Amino acid sequence: DIQMTQSPSSVSASVGDRVTITCRASQGISSWLAWYQQKPGKAPKLLIYAASSLQSGVPSRFSGSGSGTDFTLTISSLQPEDFATYYCQQANSFPQLTFGGGTKVEIK
């Protein structure tokens, strides 16, 4: 199975900060990567798919980049509603789909 490693596992940031989260795949996955946001007690929400495509309705301050094994989720200006846990997911090795361990974005 393809392993997905996220870093950092947690980050403290202030409103207005630029936040970057990385996700590394154990082998190349082309651009078959998605990012999800999950708030406590809620279901995950799709933010980015195919590495850099913004899901409909998601604010443009969220962006994704990368291909192969290294990927990045960037929040350009952190808003209060963005404090949450973020997960990456690889879709290259269907049907064995795997998620990263998560990155918790906390208030500084």
Partner 1 sequence: QVQLVESGGGVVQPGRSLRLSCAASGFTFSSYGMHWVRQAPGKGLEWVAVISYDGSNKYYADSVKGRFTISRDNSKNTLYLQMNSLRAEDTAVYYCAKDTGIAAAGNPTFFDYWGQGTLVTVSS
Query: Which parts of this chain interact with partner 1 (CB under 8 A)?
Result: 32, 34, 36, 38, 42-46, 49-50, 55, 87, 89, 91, 94-102
Of 17 and 97, nearer to partner 1 (C-beta) is: 97
Of 17 and 99, nearer to partner 1 (C-beta) is: 99
Min. distance of Cβ 61 from partner 1 in angstroms?
A: 20
With a CB cutoff of 8 Å and minimum separation 6, the contacts of 64 are: 33, 35, 47, 48, 51, 52, 53, 54, 71, 72, 73, 74
Min. distance of Cβ 28 from partner 1 in angstroms?
A: 16
